[in-house]
Structure 1
Amino acid sequence: MLTPSCRALAAMCTLVLANAALAGENWTRFRGPNGAGVAAESFPSAWTADDYLWKIALPGKGHGSPIGWNGLAFVTCGDPETGALSLVAIDVDSGETRWTKTFDGSHHSLHAANSYASGTPTVDAERVYVTWTANDKLHAAAVDHRGELVWQRELGPAEYRHGSGNSPIFVGDLLVIANDHTGDSFVAGLDAQSGAERWRRARQGGIESYATPLVFEDDDRQQQIVVSSSAEGIAGLSPVDGSVLWQIPGIYLARCVNSPFIAAGMVLSGSGEGGNGKQLTAVRPASEQGVEPEVAFELKKSVGQVPTPVAVGNRLFVWSDRGVVACYNAAEGAEIWSKRIGGNYYGSPVAAGGKIYCVAADGEVVCVAAADKFELLGRSQLGEGSHATPAIHQGKMLLRTESALACLPAE
Structure 2
Amino acid sequence: MRARSPFSVYAVALAMFLPGAGRAGESWPQFRGLAAGHTEVKDLPLTWSETEHVKWKTPLPGVGWSSPVVANGQIWMTTALEDGVSLHALCCDLATGKLLIDVEVFKNAVVPPKHARNSYASPTPIIDGDRVYVNFGSMGTACLSAKDGHKLWENREYQVDHQNGPGGSPALFQDKLLIAFDGRDQQFEIALNKMTGQLAWKTERSGIAKLQAKPEDMRKSYPTPVIFQIDGQAQTLSTGAERLYSYDPNTGRELWSVDYPGFSNVPLPVTDGRMLFVCTGFMKPEIWGIRVGGAQGDATASHVIWRQHTAVPDQSTPVVIGSRLYMVSSSGIASCLNTATGETLWKERISSDIAASPLAAEGRIYFCDARGQTTVIAPADHFQVLAQNPLADGCMASPAVVGKALILRTKTSLYRIEN
Regarding TM over 0.5, the answer is yes
Deviation at 1:46, TM superposition (A): 2.1
Partner of 1:186: 188
Q: Which of 230, 244, 267 is the aligned partner of 2:241?
A: 230
Aligned with 1:81: secondary structure? helix
Q: Which of 315, 337, 341 is the aligned partner of 2:346?
A: 337
Q: Which amino acid aligns with 2:19?
A: N
What root-mean-square deviation, in Å, do the aligned CA atoms of Structure 1 and Structure 2 show? 2.2
Any residues of structure 2 matched to 1:129-278 within 5 Å, and which?
129-133=133-137, 137-146=138-147, 147-203=149-205, 204=208, 206=216, 207-220=219-232, 222-231=233-242, 233-249=243-259, 251-274=260-283, 278=285
Aligned with 2:271: secondary structure? strand
The 2-side partners of 1:294 and 1:312 are apart by 22
Deviation at 1:289, TM superposition (A): 6.2
The 2-side partners of 1:331 and 1:316 are apart by 10
TM-score, with length taken from structure 2: 0.87
The 2-side partners of 1:21 and 1:68 are apart by 9
Contact (CA 8 Å) 1:351, 1:357: kept in 2 or not? Answer: yes
Aligned with 2:95: secondary structure? coil
Q: Higher mean Cα deviation, 377-386 or 317-326?
A: 377-386
Structure 1 residue 125 and structure 2 residue 125: aligned?
A: no
Partner of 1:4: none
The 1-side partners of 2:14 and 2:244 are apart by 26
Offset from partner CA, 1:77-135 (integer Å, 9 cap, x none): 111434321111111111122212212134221111001111111121131111114xx
Partner of 2:38: 38
Distance 1:289 1:305, change over 3 A: closer
Q: Higher mean Cα deviation, 259-268 or 161-170?
A: 259-268
Deviation at 1:331, TM superposition (A): 2.6
Partner of 1:55: 57
Partner of 2:115: 111
Aligned with 1:118: secondary structure? coil
Q: Which amino acid aligns with 2:32?
A: R
Distance 1:401 1:237, change over 3 A: same
The 2-side partners of 1:196 and 1:260 are apart by 27
TM-score, with length taken from structure 1: 0.89
Aligned with 2:196: secondary structure? coil
The 2-side partners of 1:93 and 1:82 are apart by 30
Deviation at 1:44, TM superposition (A): 2.5
Aligned with 1:380: secondary structure? strand
Distance 1:150 1:20, change over 3 A: closer
Number of residue equivalences = 389
Partner of 1:3: none
Q: Which of 387, 391, 398 is the aligned partner of 1:389?
A: 398
Contact (CA 8 Å) 2:220, 2:263: kept in 1 or not? Answer: no
Unaligned runs of 5+ in 2: 1-12
Q: Which amino acid aligns with 2:31?
A: F
Contact (CA 8 Å) 2:274, 2:292: kept in 1 or not? Answer: no
Distance 1:20 1:142, change over 3 A: closer
Unaligned runs of 5+ in 1: 1-12
Deviation at 1:273, TM superposition (A): 2.9
